[in-house]
Structures are given as C-alpha cells and as structure tokens.
Amino acid sequence: MNFTNLFSPIRIRGLELRNRIEFPAMGTKMATEDKFVTKQLIDYHVARALGGNGLNFTEVCSVYAPAAPKKFLSIAEDKYIEGLKELSDAVHNAGGKVGIQLWLGGLAVGSDPEAKIMMPSDMKVQGGYVIPGMTIEDIKEATKAFGEAARRAVEAGYDCVEFHAGHNYVPHSFISPAFNHRTDEYGGSLENRSRFLIECIESIRNNIPNDMPLFMRIDAHDDYLENGLTIEEIIEFCKMSKKAGVDVLDISRGNFSTAAIKYEVPPVDLPRGFNVENAARIKRETGMVTVAVGRINDPAQAEEIISNGKADMVVIGRGQLADPEFCNKAKSGEVESIVRCVGCNQGCYDGFVSTEVPYITCLRNPALGREEEYKLIKTDQAKTILIAGGGVAGLEAAITLKQRGHNPILCEASDSLGGQFVLAGAAPRKEEMKEAAISMGEQAKAAGVEIRLSTPVTPELIRETQAKEVVIAIGAEPMKLNVPGAELPQVTNSHEVLAGKVQVEGEVVIIGGGLVGLEVAELVVHRSGKVTVVEMLDQVGKDLGDLRKIVVMESLHQAGVNTVTNARCVKIKENSVVIEKDSRIEEISCDFVVVAIGARSRKFDDIKDYCEKNSIPYYVIGDALRARRALNSTAEAAAIARDI
C-alpha cells in the first residue's frame, strides 16, 4: 500500500518535517536521579530517528526547579543545557528533528517528596492535608520559568517546543473548572481560567525565534470529572492560544485524578483511534495545524486520518516503542514485517509506575531502553538450535537466533503457532493480540526459520537434529482444582472456554478472579444468565495492569457480573458450588463451573535429563520456567538468543 500523504513533508513556520509522524513525549525513567539526559535516553531517541520518524519529542521536561521531580528531565536551570544539546545533536545526526515538551507537573510531581506540588486552588488530600493554591507570586514565577525554559531549548538546538496543557498538570488544572476554584483574575470565566496558560504561551513565544514552531498538548475535553471542560470550551481556548502564538495542537485526552487516566496510555481495550474525531472537529473549528493521538498503530489507519483531512499529523508512540523501524518499514511497503504494539501496557505503563522496574520496556521489543547493548551481533559459530514451543517466547528466540546467523528449528506440539497469546486474543477486545501472535509466526517463516508443527520435542528429536543447544519454551497448562466434584461433567477450565472448545451457558461460576478468570467472565456473560466469579484474595484482578483493570472492571460492572472475594471453593455439586467465606459455608447455584486458578509449567524432565546426560546446553524460558506475564517470556527469549 502507498502511504503518500503520511510520508509527505509538512512545513510549520521555519521547520520542515520529512513526514507527518510524531514520536511523542512518553515517560521512560531513563533520566538520571538529578534530572540529566543519559546515553540510554539518547540511544532511545536516535533509534526512532534512524527508523524514519518525522519529529521526536522528549518526555516531560520540568521548567521550574522547585517543582522538578527526580528521575524526570529538567530544563529549569542552565546546567541542563549541555546534556539536552547532546540529545538534540544526536537526533539531528540521525536525520531527525526534535522538540522539548515543557512541563509543570502539579500533582504528578508527588512521586518526589522534595518537589513542590503546585495547584490553582487549595486541594485536600489524604490525611486531611491541604495543598495550598498558587499565589500570584507563584503564578508569575511559573510564567517566567516557561519562558526561561524555552530560551534554554533554543540554546540546546531544539527545532520546536511543546507547551503541555493537558493531563491534569498545572496548566490543565487552571483551565479546568473541576480543579480551578479561584475567585480572582485567574478563576471563574473561561477567559480568566485561560489567563495563566495564555501568559505562559506568550512567555514561551517571546523567548524563541519567530520561525520556531510552538506546539501545545491539550485534552479534547475532560472525562470523569464533575464540572469538567467541554470540547466547546477547548475550541474557544485554542483560538485564544493561536493569537498568543501557538502553531500546532496536539489533541490528547485523560487525567490521572480519575479513571480517565486510561485515555493517557490507552490499553488494547479502547478502540483504535478513539480520539481522532475530536481532533478532526478541533482542526475544523480552529483552522489550526492539528495532531491526532490515541491508539494509532497502523500505517493504513494513519494514512486514512491524514488523507481525509482529520488531522495534519499523527502520534505513533507505542507503535514505535514496539518497532523503532516502524516508519522505514511502512514507507518501503514492508508492512507485514512491522512488529505491532498490542496495547498490553505491560512494559510501557506498568513498567513506568512500578518501583521495581528501572525503566520502561516492551513486550514486543525487549531491546527498548537497551538499544546500544542489544544491537544484534552476527555469530561466527553458527549452530543448530532446537526450540521447544511455538508461543511468543519460542518465536522471539527463533527469529533473533536466525537474524544472528544460527540455524533454529522451532518445534510446536500443537498444529499452530502463537501459544497462549492466541488464546488471550479470544478474550473481549483483545483481537489484536491474536493477530500479533499469528503475525509473529509469519515473520518467523519469512525470516527462514525452520518450523515443525505437531512435533513435540523428544530426546529422539534432539538426537536426530544433532542440535547443539536447546531452548525450552513449552509454556504452562491450567492448574486443576483439587476439591470434591472437580471431575463432574459441568466443570471445565478457562483454556477450553477461551479456545471455543466448550460452550458454557445458563448460570456460570468461575473459580479464580485473576486476569484470565475475569476475561472468561466477560466472554460468557452475554450468553449466560448469571455469572459469578469466586476469588480467594481480597480483590479480583490483582494481576491486571492498572489501566486494563479500569476497563475490565467497568465492563464487568456494566454486564452485571457478580464477584465474591475472600472466598474459596470447597466442593462442587451437580447444580451448585460450595464456598467458604468469612468462616461460613455458602452455596451458589450454577449450570457450569469454569476453573481459572492459574497455570503450572509443563514438565520437560525427559528433555532436561537427555541434555544433561549428553552435555547439551539447555535454557528454560517463559512460562516453562514459571507462569508469569508475556513480558517476561519475550525478555528472557531475547536475552538467551543474544547470549548463544
């Protein structure tokens, strides 16, 4: 397919971009503790510039020193200019263009107890503490800080700057009546609530050259906020911002004070391009250059947005996390080779908010954040390597080994590739996961990997292939429920239901309220009379990432699925499930029981024993090692495939 419009250049003031694709500001945790640029962050951006991206934006960059949190970039003092210039120079040398996102974080800087939290109005928080609203002096200091930061961005060689006025940060909190309760000239009417933002825009504009574009990230409207902003108010504000000097509108959605945070890093559960029509309306009614944002992860989708005039540019963020060569591949017509983002959020969002993960990563791209370290090095000792298991872990290992020059033979016991990732794609709203797993199999074939289906790995096969090393990625199987009645005919497991091998109807009880149990509940509730989920822990969905959990729990609530926590199944009868809850025995009537209590690694003692007896190195990865998230599986596969 020809993506002529997507890859046509665009000129904004004195800046010409080679295409209409923006790699947006996304939190990485790659800055130093004291807020400086790192080589890791430079490599991350350079990879996307080399990959053909049109315009890179740094992640949020603090403009005001007292409110600058640790581990986030800062441009609040001159000492940061040198490092930021190294980043801009590197992107330019890679053929790209780069901008800085100017940021005053508000509540978001609370991750650092030393950072000053700034809000337009007094705000009560947990423990009865009140965050005081900004004084007029605070407002003037912040306004000046935006201008000084813009000056530094120019000195550091950036092509443009972006004023972040969305996502619950200080500027958004001023313009939104949900947060701004001031009664002075900075509160009340839309004009007054906009005053701080307009003053910041003017301060920025006065400190950058006339031919440098000023972008602004803005929410299309407020979600889940009482008395929040409407799109009509946003349109009026954007017209004001245009007069003040804004050139480009980057139309986002979401806030981190409510469930609307799901729109900031939208999981697979949200429709692709869910915010595009808002961008189209704002473009139409303001006449401004507009960037569409929100689950745009396919070049054909992006081309349609540009060609139909819905936006002038598109953000492809996580699509380029998953594949830094996204743009080059799309432009050259190699669409089938693109490694697609599946909106799982496991590495990019869950990794970002986790205190245990040093920086973001990606299920589809374990090299994210390790671009230099993980460059593929061709082997000078090609080996035949047998891979047991054709799920995502086995496929990741096989593709990487083949790219390095080895001879991987991938054996899958079933008649198809993709493993549990294909099964996961059977759950509501997760079709893209199934498509990605199937595509991964096709990419392995295209790479020349030898694939043998319906072929379990045995000692005889290892001997026959003369494999020098073995990778065991045979995954896990559903755990069985060990209670009286578990073998009754109306009892099945989650895998059987998701695979469509067993149809359940009537009243259904699901034993296990983790991710898989909840997805089964969503799948069957529309054809069942009543669905009850029984969970031993104090809440369901504990293994779900934060943003996916929001959507899944909303869906369960709307569908009327009943959840029972702090309860365990003690017996199954012909027409009921017996549970123990709060030291009391209860019965739940049902026609079917679905067991979803987790998975246990499949046994491979015969392979292990043969390899050890014959001194053949072997590696156990993914769920075969221990049942966990798919993110762990691909990470382990990538590491092993680079070490062999």
d(CA 536, CA 614): 45
Helix 190-205 and helix 136-155, axial crossing angle in degrees, nearest 10? 30
Amino acid letter, 179: F
Kind and range of the H or E run holding 570: strand 567-572
Q: Which of 158, 169, 359, 619 is catalytic?
A: 169
d(CA 509, CA 494): 12
- Six token digits for residue 505: 């109807």
- Six token digits for residue 314: 């598109």
64 an active-site residue?
Answer: no
| Alpha helix (H) residue ranges in 454-535 | 459-465, 494-498, 515-525
3-state secondary structure 534-567: ECCCCCCCCCCCHHHHHHHHHHHHHHCCEEECCE
Nearest C-alpha neighbor of 528 from the set 491, 560, 492: 560
Amino acid letter, 584: R
Q: Is 353 exposed, middle or buried (0-12, 13-18, 19+ CB in 10 A)?
A: middle
What's the chain's Rg over C-alpha atoms? 27
| Angle, CA 451 vertex, CA 447 and CA 453 arms, to 5° | 150
CB 634 within 8 A of CB 362: no
C-alpha 530, offset from chain centre: 33
CB 277 within 8 A of CB 305: no
| Angle, CA 23 vertex, CA 333 and CA 367 arms, to 5° | 80
- Six token digits for residue 203: 């301060």
DSSP string, 519-538: HHHHHHHTTEEEEEEE-SSS
Residue owning tokens 């009921």: 576
Kind and range of the H or E run holding 55: strand 55-62
What are the backbone dihedrals phi and psi of residue 532, each rounded to the nearest 5 degrees, phi first? -125, 130
C-alpha 339, offset from chain centre: 14
Active site residues: 169
